[in-house]
Structure 1
Amino acid sequence: MITGGMICSDELALKCNIMLTQKTYPIYGNQLAAIESGSPSETGISVVFLHGWLDNAASFSPLLSRLETETPGVHFCALDLPGHGFSGHKSTGNYYTFHDYIDDVHQVLEDIPAKTVILAGHSLGGLIASCYSAAFPEKISDIILIEALGPLAESPDNGVERLRTGILSRERIRRKTVNKGFRSFQQALTLRAHRSGVAEKHIRPLVERGLVQRDDRWYWRADPMLSADSLYRMAESHATAILKAIQCPATLIRGTEGYASLILPERMSLMADLTMHTLSGGHHCHLEQPEQIAEIIDGVIRKRQRLSGLY
């Protein structure tokens, strides 16, 4: 539910007056929207959440609503990545490459004054968090990865086919000029719930933030260019080097019915300090099990507070 710049989780709105604020972070050539709780200038710890592909910051609103009450005195920030949610789209002719997301996150973190930063990412957001914490170990104290472990990788032998497929996907998007949208909010909600394998009641906050109504139709806010296939993917040797470079403690959360391809067992041994939790649910287990995941995140925060002398 969005009310005058304030956001409250639908599930908790009837039970309490918890409100989450909206904020905008400027980055080079764009602006990123965020859902926030707490002030980074008044707290010692910021927890920054990064959502998955074609999701948005509201993917974490059930978590934020719980964490705000269970873990007070912490700055929580869930970003809309570029092209998603309320964040700006890239200019015409530009696409959304994986490595650019890492730079986008870096620019936001440079604007957050907290001395201690924890990165939490789901799916694509977890891939970004893995790479960022490897490249900038001095900036991140902990990472929390939901249904993700390191960047996507494939054999270099697939490089030529990937390049061709990616270019052709861009061509198809450029040629598509008509967006018919949906006749109702419910139609969009039902379709998204079906495609994600998540109950409508769980995915509703994400859909509410992801849709805009124009005249008598509903349309996704997300930039259509996000659907373009990647032109390049790292080799597994690159992913190995990244995982080995992660120095901070990592918490991995996976769903029993999640995407096994995103969490390769052989990668786990590469992490210097990895704790894993397996919860009932699918790829969007953070929407299905917000209480359990909030408890896990609360544990990570409180441990960091003790180690940092903030608790």
Structure 2
Amino acid sequence: MSNSHYQKTTKIIAIHGWLDNLNSLIPVAERLVNHHSNYEICLYDRAGHGFSSHIPKGFDYSNAHNLQDLRTIIQSLGWNKEKFSIIGHSYGAILGMSYAASYPEEVLCLVCIDSFPRIEASMENYCKIQGARIDNSLKHHKKPPRSHDTHLTSQAVLELIKITRSGITNEAAKLLMERLIRQDAGLS
């Protein structure tokens, strides 16, 4: 194929928010790809969200851990060798800001949806907060696992999503639900 027929793709990684999953960004990704055939978009479930595994005991869902996961994904795709764009929603936008600040030479464009800036405390307070956070995380991981109600219906889960996410449509709630739950003997 000659160079005149080759169209370079615009690479975009989309990062979902806290307690969401990649399905929350599917409508955005579909619209972008439908209008720009050269867009290559990567959606992924962050650790402990959607169909991804939970992190091991003793670890926590810190910004540093999430940033390391994002870096690993970008390196696995080989995107760190060229400029790419980031779309982040809510906590995903905060993660995108952190990545862009850490690797500005890699990021072409950053789009933040429904986010707020991260505010760091003074170094003294930050260290106290981090120490308490680590100790709380370790204490939590020593507790025996809780039993969960396995008799939830799909409708009950859908209602729970709608209650906890003000203004969400039925269609959007169902899209999120696909990756928030898994079929078990007690789910109908």
> What's the CA shift string for 1:173-206, capped at 9, x where partnerless?
6344211145211101111111111233222211
* Alignment partner of 1:108 is 2:73: yes
Amino acid at match of 2:165: S
2:54 is aligned to 89
Amino acid at match of 1:215: A
Contact 2:58 2:137 (8 Å CA) reproduced: no
Between structures 1 and 2, the one with greater strand share: 1
Fraction of identical pairs, as percent = 22
1:129 is paired with a residue whose SS is: helix
Aligned residues: 177
Q: Classify 1:186/1:43 alpha carbon distance in 2 versus 1 (closer, same or farther; 3 Å).
A: farther
Amino acid at match of 1:202: A
Equivalent positions of 1:161-200 (< 5 A) are 163-164=131-132, 167-168=135-136, 171-172=139-140, 174-197=143-166, 198-200=168-170
Q: Equivalents in 2 of 1:163, 1:193: separation in Å?
A: 35
Q: Classify 1:134/1:168 alpha carbon distance in 2 versus 1 (closer, same or farther; 3 Å).
A: closer
- Structure 1 position 86, deviation (Å): 1.5
Q: Equivalents in 2 of 1:162, 1:56: separation in Å?
A: 26
> What's the CA shift string for 1:113-171, capped at 9, x where partnerless?
45331011111111111011111011111100112243343465486467547644664
2:176 is aligned to 206
Between structures 1 and 2, the one with greater helix share: 2
* Alignment partner of 1:145 is 2:115: no
Q: Equivalents in 2 of 1:100, 1:81: separation in Å?
A: 10
- Structure 1 position 47, deviation (Å): 0.8
Contact 2:150 2:187 (8 Å CA) reproduced: yes
Q: Equivalents in 2 of 1:117, 1:137: separation in Å?
A: 11
Q: Equivalents in 1 of 2:153, 2:85: separation in Å?
A: 38
For structure 1, which runs of at least 5 residues remain unmatched after alignment?
1-41, 219-311
For structure 2, which runs of at least 5 residues remain unmatched after alignment?
1-6
Equivalent positions of 1:1-311 (< 5 A) are 43-114=8-79, 115-154=82-121, 157=125, 160=128, 163-164=131-132, 167-168=135-136, 171-172=139-140, 174-197=143-166, 198-217=168-187
- Structure 1 position 48, deviation (Å): 0.4
> What's the CA shift string for 1:251-286, capped at 9, x where partnerless?
xxxxxxxxxxxxxxxxxxxxxxxxxxxxxxxxxxxx
Q: Equivalents in 2 of 1:189, 1:94: separation in Å?
A: 30
1:212 is paired with a residue whose SS is: coil
Amino acid at match of 2:181: L
Q: Equivalents in 1 of 2:116, 2:53: separation in Å?
A: 28
The 4+ residue runs of structure 1 with deviation greater than 6 A are: none
Q: Equivalents in 2 of 1:46, 1:182: separation in Å?
A: 42
Q: TM-score, normalised by structure 2?
A: 0.81
2:76 is paired with a residue whose SS is: coil
